[in-house]
Amino acid sequence: MSTISISPTTPVAPAATAAAPPTRRKQTVRTFHLKKQQGEPITMLTAYDYATALAVDRAGIDSILVGDSLGMVVLGYDTTLPVTMADMLHHCRAVARGAQYALLIGDMPFMSYQVSVPEAVRNAGRFLQEAGMDAVKLEGGRERVEVVKAIVDAGIPVMGHLGLTPQSVHQLGGFRTQARTATAAQRLLEDALLLQEAGCFSLVLEAIPEQLARFVSQRLDIATIGIGAGVGCDGQVLVTHDLLGLFDRFTPKFARQYAHLHQVMAEAFAAYKEDVQQRRFPGPEHSTEMSAAEWQTLLANL
Ligand code: KIV
């Protein structure tokens, strides 16, 4: 039988796949506040399905984001815009079944919070009530203050998202680094302060200059989670498909690949194909025999 081996760039510690230690506690928004206070980096990854959520949770990652990036990396769209509430709730439920300890954050999809405040509150509530999430994330700055306040008033923790906000890709003219001018950087800082005042428990800072992300993180009491924003944020998030190297097509400049699973999958599929064609799979260990007596009875009856 052909076999394949996984060669991650960074060795995987056996503890990463072991069962969770019994003392581990469910992470909450307080974890974010405490880690920020203690200067301890917060870890966050995306997950969109049960198996990945299980593995991310067992690795001890603080928080799982069910990002609307699933539209691109799981569903194959060019942008996140086609993703619906139904898509998000479906994937959030799968993640909630797999993760026991991480703080679970559901990403509000395009048009689920922009139309009206009551609709936004109702949609945010569905992530907690129907899909097992602990919090929601939404994109935008000062224009979202009213909606953030209303969702927080309903008892739902909200994570903000500034910088490259993919749901505005057409307005931004593409997936490009944001806030590179002094004016844009000042506006981003003002937005961050307004979102904090509105009640966000944390902010994602995506694709902005390193020194700006560090400055904003120092000015805020709430934790910032960076992606393509340098090491000065209070925590980091990556899209798990980028980290695992699940695509050979495109990896964002800011993502580090810790494995090359696209290659591993290609080798495994080719090995399977070869085994089937050569009748090496299934082997006796994968098959079941009828007892000789039953077989003889069958033949006799035919
Ligand atoms: O949708 C997503 O995965 C995100 C992260 C990239 C922050 O918003």
DSSP per-residue codes, 155-220: T--EEEEEES-GGGHHHHTSS-----SHHHHHHHHHHHHHHHHHT-SEEEEES--HHHHHHHHHH-
- Residue 230 token pair: 């340098």
Ligand 1 pocket check for 227: Cβ under 6 Å: yes
pLDDT at 206 (0 to 100) = 98
pLDDT at 20 (0 to 100) = 55
Q: Classify 18 in phi/psi space as left (phi over 0), alpha (psi -120 to 50) or beta.
A: beta
Tell me phi and psi for residue 269, to 5 degrees: -65, -40
* Helix, strand, coil percentages for the chain (3-state, nearest 5): 45, 15, 45
pLDDT at 22 (0 to 100) = 59
Q: Active-site residue among 40, 130, 143, 206?
A: 206
Ligand 1 pocket check for 139: Cβ under 6 Å: no
Q: Whose CA is nearest to atom 8 of ligand 1?
A: 67
Q: Whose CA is nearest to atom 4 of ligand 1?
A: 67
- Residue 8 token pair: 């991650």
pLDDT at 247 (0 to 100) = 83
Report whether the peptide linkage leading into residue 166 is cis, meaning its omega lies within 30 degrees of zero.
no
The domain 29-259 belongs to what CATH superfamily? Answer: Phosphoenolpyruvate-binding domains (3.20.20.60)
Tell me phi and psi for residue 66, to 5 degrees: -85, 90
Torsion over CA: 16, 21, 27, 32 (sign): negative
| Known catalytic membership, residue 206 | yes
Mean pLDDT by runs of 10 across the 302 residues of the chain is 42 49 87 98 98 98 98 96 98 98 98 98 98 98 98 98 97 95 98 98 98 98 98 98 88 91 97 98 95 97 96
- Distance of alpha carbon 194 from alpha carbon 198, whole angstroms: 6
Residues of the chain with CATH 3.20.20.60: 29-259
Q: Whose CA is nearest to atom 6 of ligand 1?
A: 239
Q: What's the distance, Cα to Cα, between the start and end of the chain in Å? A: 36
pLDDT at 276 (0 to 100) = 98
pLDDT at 250 (0 to 100) = 73
DSSP bridge pairs for 64:
45, 104
Tell me phi and psi for residue 105, to 5 degrees: -120, 125
CA of 68 to the centre of ligand 1 (A): 6
